[in-house]
Amino acid sequence: MCLTNFVCHSSAKIKLISSFHASLIYGLIVLSFSVVTFVVYAVDKRCAQADRRRVPENTLHLLSLLGGWPGAWIAQRVVRHKTKKRSFQIVFFLTVAAHLSAVGTLLYLRFWKGWFA
């Protein structure tokens, strides 16, 4: 009985640690993509001001979709870039929704359905 409790308790600790590591990894991915995305927005703004070749909008959206949306959102406010183009803003918020939906789905499958255990 005592051994069974120890094994179950240890198993719960391992799952908790593994969930913590997954959260930490996800946070680092989002932070990294956010920093890169912020820099790309700033570079694109400079290119726009200097009338040079620009970063394609699809690239900006892809970076947002992959997790850089917080950096994109901050860059839009700080650098004041891509804030007035309505079509861009619509696609941007769709990429945010898609990213959060994907993360939410993975969390649901992991914790409520027991996948990836």
Q: Is 111 helix (H, G, I), strand (E, B) or coil?
A: helix
Q: In total, how many domains does the chain have? A: 1
Q: Is residue 116 in some structural domain? A: no
Q: Which pLDDT value is given to residue 7?
A: 45
pLDDT grade, residue 103 (50/70/90)? Answer: very high
Q: Is residue 77 in some structural domain? A: yes
Does 114 score more than 90 pLDDT?
no
The size of the chain, in residues, is 117
Q: Is residue 13 in some structural domain? A: yes
Q: Is residue 76 in some structural domain? A: yes
Please write the tens of the pLDDT for every residue from 64-87.
999 999 999 999 999 999 999 999
Q: How many CB atoms lie within 10 A of CB 17?
A: 10
Distance from the Cα of residue 110 to its chain's centroid: 18
Q: Is residue 117 in some structural domain? A: no
Whole-prediction pTM: 0.81
Please write the tens of the pLDDT for every residue from 42-58.
999 999 999 999 999 99
Residue 55's domain spans which residues? 2-111
